[in-house]
Structure 1
Amino acid sequence: MQLIIQLDAETVRQLDAIQEHTNQEPTLVIQQGISLYYQQLQPHREFYIETKKQYGLVGSSPVSISSN
């Protein structure tokens, strides 16, 4: 997948600082950042699944409410 992104000045400053300290290409820095973010979300995902199991909601479909 190819992405074209636009960064604000502060994010560019942060990316430059990371590159300066690690000597890594921007692509690798961004890939590692996404990986870290994904790892942080995993405990929340597990908690969500366990909560659904606890209340017997596993496999249930979301309820859709429409107003007329």
Structure 2
Amino acid sequence: MLTVRRRPVVVNLVDGRTTLVGERRWSWPWQVKLTGARLHRGPGHPEQPVDGVVLIPRHRIDFVQVVS
């Protein structure tokens, strides 16, 4: 699975509280790469922008939703 197009996605991590929202870039079966990401740590915490590229290993991902 090789993804070339940028698509806005919501990624929920296995800890149950952390969510990343950004554009999916070159994603391989073992990782998801996001750019322009924002980090949400649950209720009561402010949204934080993330600089650069975020690499998330698949074993840390609980759910990925494509928004477009």
Name whichever structure is richer in strand by fraction.
2
Name whichever structure is richer in helix by fraction.
1
- Higher relative contact order (CA closer than 8 Å, sequence separation 6+): 2
TM-score (norm 1): 0.22
Bigger Rg, structure 1 or 2: 1
TM-score (norm 2): 0.22
